[in-house]
Amino acid sequence: MVSKAFGCVLALGLVTATPRTAAATADYHHVHLVVPNAEQGVRWYIRNMECEAVAGRKNAAQCGAAMFLFFVGKPSGPSEGSGADHIGFSFANIETKTKALEAAGVKVTSPVRDVPNLFKIAFVEDPWGTRIELVEHPEYLGFHHVHLASAAPAKTLAWYQKAFGGEATKIKDRLDAVLYGRVWLLASASKEPLAPTQGRAIDHIGFSFPDLETAAAEIKGKGVTFQTEPRVLTPPSPSAVKVSFIVGPDNVRIEAVQPPAK
């Protein structure tokens, strides 16, 4: 099973920074969750994770640097047990935050503890099975990270950096990560078989590109197979949004998007 602790062992050996090609201009864009009622999901994350409403979008919340989107449906399983094990939010004081969440009826699955030479952490769960880590990392408040589970964590992180760019680095010189702006991508080892993310509480994660067609061609040149080719979404989706899907390591579904021009 995946370690419950944020400070689990992460393998070394990430590749060096890639050139700023079209594919390497990716920003971390969104997390797409499955919930029975999208508006209820939005309200839960606004109320409990301090996200903000998105004008004109009843199925979306802005959580720091990333958007949270909500499919309507019944999750086929929790995030834990898939390649997208959990997501993380950073708060200035997680002891206070965890007490407030518990008082509000949020399920606390692991109480606050201090990870030496890192920071304080705790785990909670949303009502639909998404595992959420709370961390006390003042330099990166708000939506903080996506934590993958993998049979080969170092290779998985290297794959993401090769495909989408980002900065290969460490959190506090301790945890291997790829940093996309203000969102960290982490991976830890799992010895158990991992279910595909599609249909589970965390259905997929998303990266954005200013030029998706060019980026997709470059990513394909790196040996990555696209599940769907770039296409323009039709209403009621935001106009002129281009999307495509990739299945990454450990059957993590990944959406690549080109947001509409501002």
Q: What is the sign, positive or negative, of the torsion defined by CA atoms of 215, 216, 217, 219?
A: positive
What is the reported pLDDT for 115? 96
* Tokens read off for 166: 């980002």
What is the reported pLDDT for 8? 36
Tell me whether residue 183 is in a domain: yes
Tell me whether residue 2 is in a domain: no
* DSSP helix/strand/coil, 222: coil
For the cut 70, the answer to whether the pLDDT of residue 18 exceeds it is: no
Residue 147 parent element (H or E): strand 142-150
Q: List the beta bridge partners of residue 71.
A: 34
What is the reported pLDDT for 16? 41
Question: ∠ CA(203), CA(75), CA(123), 5° rounding?
Answer: 75
* DSSP helix/strand/coil, 102: helix
Tell me whether residue 18 is in a domain: no
10 against 76, higher pLDDT: 76
For the cut 50, the answer to whether the pLDDT of residue 1 exceeds it is: no
Mean pLDDT of the chain: 90
CA distance 54 to 101: 23
Tell me whether residue 251 is in a domain: yes
What is the reported pLDDT for 3? 43
Write the CATH number for 145.
3.10.180.10
142 against 240, higher pLDDT: 142
Tell me whether residue 138 is in a domain: yes
What is the reported pLDDT for 25? 73
**Mean pLDDT in residue range 196-219:** 96
What is the reported pLDDT for 26? 87
22 against 155, higher pLDDT: 155
* DSSP helix/strand/coil, 140: helix
Tell me the residue type at 117. N
Q: Where are the alpha helices (DSSP H) in the chain?
A: 38-49, 94-103, 153-164, 212-221
**Mean pLDDT in residue range 62-88:** 97
CA distance 97 to 70: 24
pTM of the model: 0.89
Residue 68 near residue 60, CB atoms below 8 Å: yes
> How many structural domains does the chain have?
1
Tell me whether residue 190 is in a domain: yes
Res. 100 pLDDT band, cuts 50 70 90: very high
CA distance 2 to 192: 8
**Mean pLDDT in residue range 115-123:** 96
User: Which range of residues forms the domain containing residue 253?
Assistant: 23-258
Res. 17 pLDDT band, cuts 50 70 90: very low
Q: What is the DSSP string of 23-48?
A: GGG-EEEEEEEEES-HHHHHHHHHHH
